[in-house]
Amino acid sequence: MQAMVYRGPYRVRVEEKDRPSIEHPNDAIVRVTRAAICGSDLHLYHGMMPDTRVGSTFGHEFVGVVDEVGSSVQNLKVGDRVMVPFNIFCGTCFFCARGLYSNCHNVNPNATAVGGIYGYSHTTGGYDGGQAEYVRVPFADVGPTLLPDWMDEEDAVLLTDAVATGYFGAQLGDIKEGDVVVVFGAGPVGQYAAASSWLMGAGRVIVIDHLDYRLEKARTFAHAETINFTEHDDIVVHMKKLTDHLGADVAIDAVGAEADGNLLQHVTAAKLKLQGGSPIALNWAIDSVRKGGTVSVMGAYGPMFSAVKFGDAMNKGLTLRMNQTPVKRQWPRLFEHVRNGYLKPNEIVTHRIPLEHIAEGYHMFSAKLDGCIKPLIVPSA
Amino acid sequence: MAYTPDKPKLAETSEQLRARIPGWGADLDPKDRPSVPREVFDPSFSGAHWEFPERQPENTPRERSIEHAFLTPVFGTSCPPKGLSGVIRRYSYAKYSEGRAAHWLLLLAADRVDTVEGTLRSFVSRRPDNPVTETGILAEGPRHGRRADRGHHLLDPIIVAAPWVLGAALGVAVVRRVAGRSRG
């Protein structure tokens, strides 16, 4: 089969690989019909995530058709159209039993701090991902869900991570009616977090980024006010002025490890890999939110230490909330929101790229070419 | 204002927002939010029909975090450790927990060694690495337009090209030395 293969930082190509096989009785093999490149894939692509091995296949956002099932699979059959959450989870460990599917303890031998994720380095379990024609799906009775007939396939692939993560980020903000919410980052997760904040009753939503074309999308797609931080000497002071010097009630970090806006942080983290991530957006969130406010962290960071301003967070009495999204737990409610037209996931898709051109797709997304916000991958099988 | 008791007035009321934004307030009640409360004990909800899953066969020795009690019942089998990078990875997993910076720094070092090993291996394969096609740099042209954040990416070409330039320089130096010896 054809699959995207990592060759080293900033280099990927499509190779012929063996079709995955059943390795556990509850595995399924899924033929991928749509996949996506996630902003967090760029951390792998840039060589930031430890234990990203040459030869591995990325991709944790995908939907497809069941091609084969293991002997103990009861809930799926060959030919079913399925959407697969980015989390790999067993369903019954201490954490899964409490609904924390993203923190499963039975699927990632390489680390205890993070669960299993498709195509996201050996630090999350060493599974190949869905930017390929076929993918192995462990715990097929637990993770995948049948793709509803009424749902658009592109909406479905976006629900496997980006939409669910933006929505989960707004939930972790514990938004109350009339709250002022500031979202750092106008990428896909930031767009969905901003749109979801209204569903929770926000009274004002402000999105901050440095890319004008993405801010334009935040205005039209997420109905948000926008700020380009490069137009202000100090974005924290500007945020204070915008909120009568109180600060926002809730701040959402939808940027993560490769945040821009501070040369020292960006170079030491994103370029020299001396930090787990460049916490510029997170530090701005801490300083922009009001005392007693909530910071929700959806941005992905590596496992190394990062220079975060915990002193300010402590002195301000902030609540910091974060996790990888337990995607499947979000789906029943999100399906309702999509069906009702409250969330329109595929409106942020800008590119549909054949799998064989994935190297150009990664570069386009990484370098922000051609107004790229969300690229989907179309396998040829 | 922050200096007085009341919260600053918003530009729009809830009624105005509800009229302007589809779905505004649909999840206003925390009970409608799927991850509230954070933990809900219900082991049968997921569809699993086991208490502890059957174990996946360990066909080749599988490295694991020393913070785990045992190898997890299910694991990925992509790219087993090999070569010098594999030795570094296995050492890192065997020696250091996730709490130690040495663990992650060794894994990052192994990643860089793996890249060099992969490139060298590709040169004796039928498909050598091609930095032009693999970086996707061909996307930068009239077809896809200019970079939106050019200042941000000044360092990228240096980081991508530096190992190749250094490798080429090293190769030239080795060839010159060997040629010099054979002449001498």
pLDDT at B148: 66
Instruction: Flag whether residue B142 sits within 8 Å of chain A, measured between CB atoms.
Output: no
Interchain pair B38, A100: CB under 8 A: yes
Q: Render pLDDT for B20-78 as a digit per residue (tens, 0 to 9).
A: 999 999 999 999 999 999 999 988 888 999 999 999 999 999 999 999 999 999 999 99
- Measured between beta carbons, the chain B residues lying within 8 angstroms of A10 are 135, 156, 159-160
Interchain pair A360, B145: CB under 8 A: no
Question: Does A262 or A80 have the greater pLDDT score?
Answer: A80
Closest CA to B106 of A151, A122, A336, A268: A122
Instruction: Flag whether residue B84 sits within 8 Å of chain A, measured between CB atoms.
Output: no
Instruction: Flag whether residue B133 sits within 8 Å of chain A, measured between CB atoms.
Output: yes
Identify the band that residue B159 occupies on the pLDDT scale cut at 50, 70 and 90.
low
**Residue B168 clears pLDDT 90, i.e. is over it:** no
Best residue in B14, B20, B27 to probe A by mutation, most A CBs within 10 Å?
B27
Nearest-CA distance from A173 to chain B in Å? 11
Decide if B32 is inside a domain. Answer: no
Decide if B135 is inside a domain. Answer: no
Q: Render pLDDT for A174-184 as a digit per residue (tens, 0 to 9).
A: 999 999 999 99
> Residue B100 in contact with residue B89, Cβ under 8 Å?
no
Interchain pair B78, A126: CB under 8 A: yes
Q: Render pLDDT for A69-127 as a digit per residue (tens, 0 to 9).
A: 999 999 999 999 999 999 999 999 999 999 999 999 999 999 999 999 999 999 999 99
3-class state of residue B154 by DSSP: coil
List phi, psi (to 5°) of A264.
-60, -50
Instruction: Flag whether residue B93 sits within 8 Å of chain A, measured between CB atoms.
Output: yes
List phi, psi (to 5°) of A136.
-80, 130
pLDDT at A257: 87
On the 0-12 / 13-18 / 19+ scale of CB atoms within 10 A, A16 is exposed
Question: Does B176 or A205 have the greater pLDDT score?
Answer: A205
**What residue ranges define each of the domains in chain A, with the CATH number in brackets?**
2-161+326-378 (3.90.180.10), 167-322 (3.40.50.720)
pLDDT at A140: 98
- Which of A50, A178, A266 lies at the smallest CB-CB distance from B108? A50
Instruction: Flag whether residue B144 sits within 8 Å of chain A, measured between CB atoms.
Output: yes
Q: Render pLDDT for B73-86 as a digit per residue (tens, 0 to 9).
A: 999 999 999 999 99
Instruction: Flag whether residue B113 sits within 8 Å of chain A, measured between CB atoms.
Output: no
Distance between CA atoms of B171 and A223, rounded to whole angstroms?
Answer: 56
Best residue in A56, A101, A200, A304 to probe B by mutation, most B CBs within 10 Å?
A200
Q: Render pLDDT for A335-352 as a digit per residue (tens, 0 to 9).
A: 999 999 999 999 999 999
Interchain pair A101, B46: CB under 8 A: yes
Decide if B37 is inside a domain. Answer: no
**Residue B150 clears pLDDT 80, i.e. is over it:** no
Instruction: Flag whether residue B109 sits within 8 Å of chain A, measured between CB atoms.
Output: no
* b/e per residue A158-195 (b: at least 16 CB within 10 A): bbbbbbbbbbbbbbbbbbeebbbbbbbbbbbbbbbbbb
Token pair of B36, please?
């509230």
Residue whose entry in the numeric block shows the structure tokens 């009274």: A203
Long-range contacts: A277-281, Cβ < 8 Å, 24+?
A277/A43, A277/A48, A277/A301, A277/A302, A277/A306, A278/A306, A279/A306, A279/A307, A279/A308, A279/A309, A280/A255, A281/A184, A281/A185, A281/A253, A281/A254, A281/A255, A281/A256
Nearest CA in chain B to A322: B38
Nearest-CA distance from B159 to chain A in Å? 8
Nearest CA in chain A to B70: A109
Task: Work out the mean pLDDT of chain B and round it to a whole number.
Answer: 91
Interchain pair A200, B27: CB under 8 A: yes
| Number of independent structural domains in chain B | 1
Distance between CA atoms of A177 and B180, rounded to whole angstroms?
Answer: 79
Instruction: Flag whether residue B83 sits within 8 Å of chain A, measured between CB atoms.
Output: no
Alpha carbon separation from A279 to A169, A225, A257, A329 (Å, rounded):
17, 23, 6, 28
> Residue A331 in contact with residue A144, Cβ under 8 Å?
no
Decide if B91 is inside a domain. Answer: yes
Interchain pair A9, B56: CB under 8 A: no
Q: Which residues pair with A180 in a beta bridge?
A: A204
**Residue B160 clears pLDDT 80, i.e. is over it:** no
pLDDT at B139: 87
- Which of B78, B104, B130 lies at the smallest CB-CB distance from A56? B78
Q: Which domain holds residue B69?
A: 63-125
Decide if B46 is inside a domain. Answer: no
Long-range contacts: A243-247, Cβ < 8 Å, 24+?
A243/A180, A243/A290, A243/B8, A244/B1, A244/B2, A244/B8, A245/B1, A245/B2, A245/B3, A246/A290, A246/B1, A246/B2, A246/B7, A246/B8, A247/A288, A247/A289, A247/A290, A247/A291, A247/A293, A247/B2
Distance between CA atoms of B134 and B122, rounded to whole angstroms?
Answer: 13
pLDDT at B87: 98
**Residue A213 clears pLDDT 60, i.e. is over it:** yes
Nearest CA in chain A to B143: A370
Instruction: Flag whether residue B88 sits within 8 Å of chain A, measured between CB atoms.
Output: no
ipTM score here? Answer: 0.95
Decide if B110 is inside a domain. Answer: yes
Decide if B114 is inside a domain. Answer: yes
Distance between CA atoms of A211 and B150, rounded to whole angstroms?
Answer: 11
Best residue in A360, A366, A377 to probe B by mutation, most B CBs within 10 Å?
A360
- Which of B2, B63, B104 lies at the smallest CB-CB distance from A304? B104
* b/e per residue B69-95 (b: at least 16 CB within 10 A): eeebbbbbbbbbbebebbebbeebbee
Interchain pair A96, B8: CB under 8 A: no
Nearest-CA distance from B161 to chain A in Å? 10
Q: Render pLDDT for A263-304 as a digit per residue (tens, 0 to 9).
A: 888 888 877 888 888 899 999 999 999 999 999 999 999 999
Instruction: Flag whether residue B65 sits within 8 Å of chain A, measured between CB atoms.
Output: yes
pLDDT at B165: 82
Decide if B145 is inside a domain. Answer: no
Identify the band that residue B164 occupies on the pLDDT scale cut at 50, 70 and 90.
confident
